[in-house]
Amino acid sequence: MRFLASAAFIAALAGVTPAMAACNQLVCRAPAVHVNTNGVESQAQLANQLRQQGYSEIQMSPYAPTAINPRPELMTPTSAPAQTPVHNGWNGTASKDGSVVDIYAN
């Protein structure tokens, strides 16, 4: 019981919602949206494309996640999205229908 309370407290501090934490497997993948970025050059353009698809709370970072910084969009958000190029792979997070998803550019 003590472990469950501690895990819930740590998850709350990390900003993990129950929808994000619902996983009964050894390795769990976060929900993701994969965006085709043909003609999209900046993270601002990518954010506009996602807004048109119904996403909100779009947070991007020029850095990829690491074990030390798993949520770089919170620690080092993109300061100039119009000048920050979209890169292949992870670019940030967004919300849709109450779920947080990772944004991947193809």
Task: Give the DSSP H or E segment for 35.
Answer: strand 32-35
- Kindly indicate the confidence band of residue 9, based on its pLDDT and cuts at 50, 70 and 90: very low
pLDDT digits (tens, 9 = 90+) for 46-97: 999 999 999 999 999 999 999 999 899 999 999 999 999 998 899 999 999 9
Q: Please say if the pLDDT value at position 28 is more than 70.
A: no
Cβ atoms of 92 and 70 closer than 8 Å: no
Full-model pTM: 0.70
Distance, CA of 36 to chain centre: 16
- Kindly indicate the confidence band of residue 37, based on its pLDDT and cuts at 50, 70 and 90: confident
Terminal Cα-to-Cα distance of the chain (whole angstroms): 43
